[in-house]
Amino acid sequence: MEEYKYFDIRNAAGEVAHILLYDKIGVNEEGKGISEQRFAKELYSLARRYRRLNVRINSPGGKITDGLSICAAILNINQSTPGVRIDTYVDGLALSIAGLIAVCGKKVGMCNFAKLMLHNPFIGGKNSTNPNEAGQHETLMQVKEMLLTLLATRTGQKVDTLSAMMNQTTWLSAAEAKRQGFVDEVFEHPRKKSMATSVAAAENDVASLFDIFNQYPIKFLPEPTNTNHPMSLTSEQAEQLRNEVLGYKGDLTAVLNACGLPTDAGRDGILGHVEGLRNEIKRLKSLDLKIESYKTNVENLENEKKRLHDEVAEMKKHEAIALVENAIKEGKIAPVKKEKWLNHAYDNYDMVRDTLADMPTHPNLVSKIKAMGTSNEAGASAGFEELSFSELSNKFPEKLMLIKNENPVLYKELFRKEYGTEPVL
């Protein structure tokens, strides 16, 4: 497992980590101080494992070059690593270059008693305004320009205003730092209160109630083996978590980290977070019921759609049968071709209907033979209208020959229906 020097606390859910900037920036000859290379390396390493990183600052400042490396690491991760953010918190002092590191967080918090200080850069303990060091002075002015650009970008203050603050070595309280745009929020630690002796004495004071419940500590459940999103909690688990928070006596840092809350949120923040989870669970359950209702409605609509589709298909089938049978009666198609025409009508009713409409109507074979005066009643009932040309040729060749000789047009029509071409007479 990778070793960390500045990495402090991680939560059970594996989403939030704290890294401490609690020393002078830059390593001296004795090896003391914060190494910018190692600090930046740990930041990048933690950014691959956690979604939120909190840089906690209490530093007198130090080497500018080392501090700028840490600034660059924070800004680069916030800008180029999707889903990961680094916030900064001034827990005590953020002096000199430590103040610039502080303003690099995505969100910047500052404790109500903390201080932030700005001054001009200098080399080797000599003030940069020394006229005897012209070369160094020019170098320091270039460095100051870099720092001013960074501060102006992060705070929204004008460069001239920031330069004057650095010239005067300006100290800022938390409230003043927030007013001038250096920090986004000021947090404070709750005031110590005397402990109430009973629930009745505590009345509705949350802090007092916590003190009373803390007399009866409840052991936390084992750390979960999975890292599912908090929304996977059931309402019963959320209630159990709330009861454990009420009864837990000890450092709440791990609980705050597990909830993804700042360390200054306190028990009120934890209870609010748990209540939010419970409400979200209720909302999601309500959505589940609505989704199930929608699914049922969709399923009913699909069934109705299928029923209507089947009804329409059956109606079209009856229409196709009626169409083809009527065409047979009108002599437009031969009875032996009925199935073929039906299949076409099932596939494309409109096309078959239009095709048959354009075909001429012909009397059936019996009526034509009767009209020729060549058949008697027995011959008329011999089922000629049900026979094709080939069947007539095989069963009644003399009748077919009679038709050929006396009515060539009828003969050609019968032949064309059978073979699709004109006969050679």
Residues 69 and 212 in one domain: no
- Residue 41 maps to a domain: yes
Instruction: Quote the radius of gyration of the chain (alpha carbons, Å).
Output: 47
**Residue 205's domain spans which residues?**
199-286
- Residue 12 maps to a domain: yes
Contact 187, 91 (CB under 8 A): no
- Residue 127 maps to a domain: no
Residues with Cβ within 8 Å of 85's Cβ and at least 6 positions away in sequence, in order, are 51, 52, 53, 78, 106, 107
- Residue 194 maps to a domain: no
Residues 34 and 181 in one domain: yes
Q: How many domains are there within the chain?
A: 4
Contact 91, 109 (CB under 8 A): no
pLDDT by residue, tens only, the chain of 425 residues: 355 555 554 443 457 888 899 999 999 888 899 988 999 998 998 888 888 999 999 999 999 999 999 999 999 999 998 889 999 999 999 999 999 999 999 999 999 999 999 999 987 644 444 544 567 788 889 999 999 999 999 999 999 999 999 999 999 999 999 999 999 999 987 766 555 555 455 444 555 545 544 544 433 344 444 444 444 556 666 666 667 666 665 666 766 776 677 877 777 777 777 777 777 777 887 887 888 888 888 888 888 888 888 888 888 889 889 988 888 887 777 777 888 888 888 888 888 888 888 777 665 554 555 555 444 443 444 455 566 788 788 888 888 888 888 778 778 877 877 777 788 76
Residues 206 and 280 in one domain: yes
Residues 215 and 259 in one domain: yes
pTM above 0.75, yes or no: no
User: Nearest 5°: CA angle at 245, between 239 and 248?
Assistant: 135
- End-to-end, the C-alpha distance of the chain in Å comes to 102
d(CA 116, CA 99): 6
Could you tell me the CA-to-CA distances from 51 to 44, 69, 80, 273 in Å, in that order?
A: 12, 21, 13, 18
Residues 371 and 268 in one domain: no
Could you tell me the CA-to-CA distances from 102 to 19, 55, 80, 253 in Å, in that order?
A: 13, 8, 19, 22
Contact 114, 91 (CB under 8 A): yes
End-of-domain residue from the set 358, 376, 398 = 358
Q: Is the dihedral of CA 121, 125, 127, 131 positive or negative?
A: negative
| Nearest to 89, CA basis, from 148, 166, 163, 177 | 177
- Residue 150 maps to a domain: no
Segment (H or E) for 373: none
Residues 53 and 178 in one domain: yes
Residues 18 and 37 in one domain: yes
Contact 190, 266 (CB under 8 A): yes
